[in-house]
Amino acid sequence: MDSLQITDDQKERIRAFASDLPKLWHDPQTADRERKRIARLLLEDVTLSREQETREAVVQLRFKGGATRELRAPLPKPSWALKQTKTEVVSEIDRLLDTSTEAEIADRLNELGWCSGSGFAFSLRMVNRLRRDYHLKSRYERLREKGLLDIKEISEIIGASISSVHHWRRAGVLTGARFNEKDEHLYDPPTPSVLQEIRRRREKQAPKK
């Protein structure tokens, strides 16, 4: 049998078809069934694999003529990663914990127009959960590391009851910082002048004999 001879005109038509193929493929009027027919005409087989190290999908194409080509694309993120809070939000929470309570932080993030990975506004409970999930130091821990004292320690130093500690704080004699929404405070170590002021006020308030 004589081998099939391709005329110059046929060759030219094949070249034109090859150059028009991308245009034909991307044409919105080309039906999906036609794209499948084109793929079957061109491809011998397709192998899809996954590389965990690079988090890529690898597509190996083998064409009818024997040519091969490899395509790589990043794997889609799992659903939990798509809903993960952005790193800049976590960093801002970490920064604000030095100066603010968790409820104040939630208000500040909402003022900035930020939202959680799921698209919700921030709340005290959400900030608390993120702090725990990302192992951030609490405001209480940060204040303690700065040397602030708890209410029992400060009451022993000034020789007064816990209720008196609250009194001296509200009077502006003792200073410190609020660490939660229960209005609980940690206190700056009292200086000699502060202790002297407390003694002076006590003597002034003591009933005269």
Confidence band for 18, pLDDT divided at 50, 70 and 90: low
Asked whether 36 and 52 are in contact (CB, 8 A), the reply is no
- pLDDT of 194 > 60? The answer is yes
pLDDT averaged over the chain?
A: 85
| Per-residue pLDDT tens over the stretch 166-178 | 999 999 999 999 9
| Among the listed residues 49, 109, 39, 40, the one whose alpha carbon sits nearest the alpha carbon of residue 75 | 49
- pLDDT of 82 > 50? The answer is no
Look-up of token digits 């001296």 = 168
pTM of the model: 0.60
The pLDDT, as a whole number, for residue 6 is 63
The pLDDT, as a whole number, for residue 80 is 45
| Among the listed residues 98, 191, 184, the one whose alpha carbon sits nearest the alpha carbon of residue 145 | 98
47 bridge partner residues:
60
Look-up of token digits 């064409």 = 63
The pLDDT, as a whole number, for residue 111 is 94
The pLDDT, as a whole number, for residue 123 is 94
| Residue 181 identity | E
> May I ask the CATH class of domain 81-136?
mainly alpha
| Per-residue pLDDT tens over the stretch 133-148 | 999 999 999 999 999 9
CATH of domain 145-205: 1.10.1660.10
| Per-residue pLDDT tens over the stretch 113-122 | 998 877 889 9
CB neighbours of 177 closer than 8 A, spacing ≥ 6? Answer: 143, 148, 185, 186
| Among the listed residues 94, 182, 183, 190, the one whose alpha carbon sits nearest the alpha carbon of residue 148 | 190
The pLDDT, as a whole number, for residue 92 is 95
| Among the listed residues 108, 133, 131, 134, the one whose alpha carbon sits nearest the alpha carbon of residue 121 | 108
Q: Where are the domains of the chain?
A: 42-76, 81-136, 145-205
